[in-house]
Structure 1
Amino acid sequence: MTEVTLPTRRPAGRPFDPPVELARLRSERPITRMRFPDGHLGWLVTSYPLIRAVLADQRFSSRYELLHYPLADVGQMPPAPVGDLTGMDAPQHTRYRKLLAGKFTVRRMNQLTERAEELTAEHLDAMAGQGAPVDLVESLARPVPALMICELLGVPYADREDFAGHAARMSRLDATPEEQYATFGAIGEYVRQLVAAKRTRPTDDLLSDLTDTDLSDDELAGVGGFLLGAGLDTTTNMIALGTYALLEHPDQLPALQESPESAVEELMRYLSIVHTGARAALEDVEVGGRLVSAGESVALSVVAGNRDPVKYPNPDVLDLRRAATGHLGFGYGIHQCLGQQLARVEMRVTLPALMRRFPALRLAVPAEEIPMRHDMDLYGVHRLPVTW
């Protein structure tokens, strides 16, 4: 069988569309041999049904130390740090998941919705006061999710500006490795101090709730850091890239206001910012008529799966009235995104509010000058200059 490398080049002038080669592979060879950047010969899966099958099959592992990374040669990856659910299998993953899943309650989501509305209004007011043009990433898309993580974890108000600043520095591209390590260290140390404070004087937040479990202080600090890392850059890019897509599809704006719930699901499907996942076979497994041998890594093209016409008619069309349920934007199976309800809250609030407040919102530069995150594991924009 002919082997491929992961297609990454998006079609010129179509920043929201996947690499064209992925559609051909999905049609002709939905599971095919792939040469990984480190030389490993594994597999690439591009169809919606097969991606779901792999994600639901616990014969495939998500442990980092077993995986070959599909996007770059990063060498042998270390095991997941304490509290990082993404890089764990059962039973370790099950223990954390059970403790955390019950904390994302309807009551807490309702509280966070109200806070998201307040924070969004404050930042839109600040945008109006500053005047156009602004970078939407810095003015809205990054600070609101950072402050919402503060709400979730119960970071005291006096500390929130510093904490949000640390969170923003986590995703800086121009930071040196030393600066990145210093940022991670500062966040880890702060969360450890926060855990100690919550044990002494709990408040109404997720971290305080978790102090009543059997998690150790190190585990609680790890979970806090994991939630920060998992919930910040992802939602930031969805808000920013979602805004860009809406500005390029103004005919969709009425549907955004009429049904923000379905609009968010369709944007998640259409944009697929977490575009490529990976699993490692723990034993020989047949997938789509091919034998995946134990130890081989499988790259999962989420962006191709979410554009699969087998699941979604006219998949390359952005249709905010579409019933996009079942998309892979939050993953699938036991590792499906734990904070997906919080992400939905943030997007349902920010995007309609932004378009209501600034009905004449438009790009401040030509579309071809928008700097896209072509070379990163989360797709999106580096900056989004807008005016009104």
Structure 2
Amino acid sequence: MRMPISRTCPFTVPPEYARLRGEDPVTRVSLPSGDEAWLVSRYQDVRTVLSDPRFSIDATRPGYPRMRAGAEPPPRRRPFLDTDPPEHVTYRRMLNGEFTVRRIAALRPEISQVVDDLLDAMVAGGSSADLVAAFALPLPSLVICRMLGVPYADHEFFESRTRTALAGDVTAAQSSEAMGQLFEYLEKLFAQRQDQQTEDLIGKLADGPVAAGALDRRGAVGMILLLLVAGHETTANMISLGMLTLLREPQLCDELRRQPERMPAVVDELLRYHSVADSVAVRVAVADVELGGRLIKAGEGVVTLGLSANHDDDVFDQPHRFDPGRSTRHHLAFGYGPHQCIGQNLARAELEIAYHRLLTRLPNLHVTAPTDELPCKHQSQVFGVERLPVQW
């Protein structure tokens, strides 16, 4: 089998996934880089790979899967991104306070204001828009920029570089160059902030662990880079895909307008259903591990299929259905284990507020293009739609 395995539309899972789970749940796969790795498709096996210390996220280790042709291992481990416990825990603690349930709850009024400002601008511009460009992309970008201390005026720069870095149809050199430009931009910004005292995350890292010598500047910039890229691209895609799904269910939309307390459960089901970051979680074995009836040897790479795991019918009843009444808090859309997404509380809050305000402020909102004509991000590491034309 060869990667990538593309979706045919926003509402279908590649049929190969069901076959893999049933017949060959841990199988060999050829990656675009030419590397061979193990492909893991069942829910329980994916959880094992993401939580068992015998699998490492350290991309500098021999055998770590390279997804792109021409990709090279990073020259050194990147704090937070490429480190395993217990080292990873040390770096994670430097960020945890900004993403707790309490901290995100305190941010909800600010997120709501950003949402309403964007909706005001949409309405002032007429009765139609591209929901991706007018709302889905700027919302998480604005929020994460404010949290980090990155000027939103530069959003076109970092959004374009992020698209290039995550695109599946660019070379490893082009992706690396885009990430390098983002790193250089953030490093200059961080250097400027070291002479100031600010309450954003850049300021807190500069005044805290960097000033104390617990983290160097490059390590801090790497953390900010990861949060900036992950903090807008994934949520933006979920906003547009989620609304596309909800608008197919007019009765549900009416119910959610009257019962907003249901929105958190609906958000989790949407996260499970779409699983936009399907194959981004990769590892390398550091010991021999038997998994799914196969022996994975130390030094062999592993690629997990989050979309397949979240559609495992041993775990979820009729997983191909979008079921807003099901309990899906245990889905794997945010990963699992020590590297589970640190920003999941923020993402949930943004999605809950965005969906609710779109449904209530624009009750006649509807998509104006057939689903099969919507351009999808089939070649990106994070799935979504390029555009979503709507009217209200």
TM-score by length of 1: 0.88
Query: By how many angstroms is 1:179 displaced?
Result: 9.1
Paired AA for residue 269 in structure 2: E
- Is contact 1:330-1:340 (8 Å) kept? yes
User: What is the match of residue 334 of structure 1?
Assistant: 338
- The answer to whether 1:10 aligns with 2:7 is yes
Write the deviation string for residues 204-230 of structure 1: whole angstroms up to 9, x where unpaired.
333333221232233222221121012
Q: CA deviation at 1:284?
A: 1.1
CA separation of 1:299 and 1:176: change in aligned 2, threshold 3 A: closer
Match of 1:273 among 269, 276, 279: 276
CA distance in 1, matches of 2:182, 2:302: 33
**Deviation of the 1:180 alpha carbon:** 7.4
1:355 to 350, 354, 359: 359
Where does the alignment leave 5 or more consecutive residues of structure 1 unmatched? none
Rounded to whole Å, the distance in 2 between the matches of 1:82 and 1:63 is 9
Counterpart secondary structure, 2:81: helix
Q: CA deviation at 1:125?
A: 0.7
Does the Cα contact within 8 Å between 2:129 and 2:390 map onto a contact in 1?
A: yes
Superposition pairs for residues 144-163 of structure 1, below 5 Å? 144-155=139-150, 159-162=151-154
Give runs of aligned pairs for residues 1-388 of structure 1, distance below 5 A. 4-6=1-3, 8-11=5-8, 14-65=9-60, 66-70=63-67, 72-79=68-75, 82-83=78-79, 85-155=80-150, 159-162=151-154, 164-172=155-163, 184=179, 187-210=182-205, 211-213=207-209, 214-254=214-254, 256-257=256-257, 258=259, 259-276=262-279, 277-388=281-392
Paired letter, 2:233: D
Mapped contact 1:81–1:222 kept (Cα < 8 A): no
Distance across 2 between alignment mates of 1:181 and 1:9:
23
Instruction: Say if 1:93 and 1:110 are closer, same or farther in 2 by CA, change over 3 A.
Output: same
Q: Between 56-65 and 175-184, report the one with greater CA deviation.
A: 175-184
Contact 1:79 1:87 in 2 (8 A): no
Q: Name whichever of 22-31 and 204-213 sits farther off.
A: 204-213
Which amino acid in structure 2 is aligned with residue 160 of structure 1?
Y
| Local SS of the residue matching 1:248 | coil
Residue 371 and residue 107 in structure 1: after superposition, are their counterparts in 2 closer, same or farther (change >3 A)?
A: same
For residues 162-219 of structure 1, the C-alpha deviation after alignment (integer angstroms, 9 at most, x for no partner) is 3x23222224459999997786566445533443454444233333332212322332
Larger mean CA deviation between 130-139 and 187-196 belongs to: 187-196
SS at match of 1:386: strand
- Structure 1 counterpart SS, 2:390: strand
Q: Deviations over 1:302-357 (max 9, x none)?
A: 10100111111111111122111111100001110011111111111111111211
- When the two chains are superposed, the root-mean-square deviation of aligned CA atoms in Å is 2.6
The answer to whether the 8 A contact 1:45-1:298 is kept is: yes
Aligned residue-pair number = 377
User: Unaligned 5+ residue runs, structure 2?
Assistant: none
Q: State the percentage of identical aligned residues.
A: 37
- Displacement after TM superposition at 1:52 (Å): 0.4
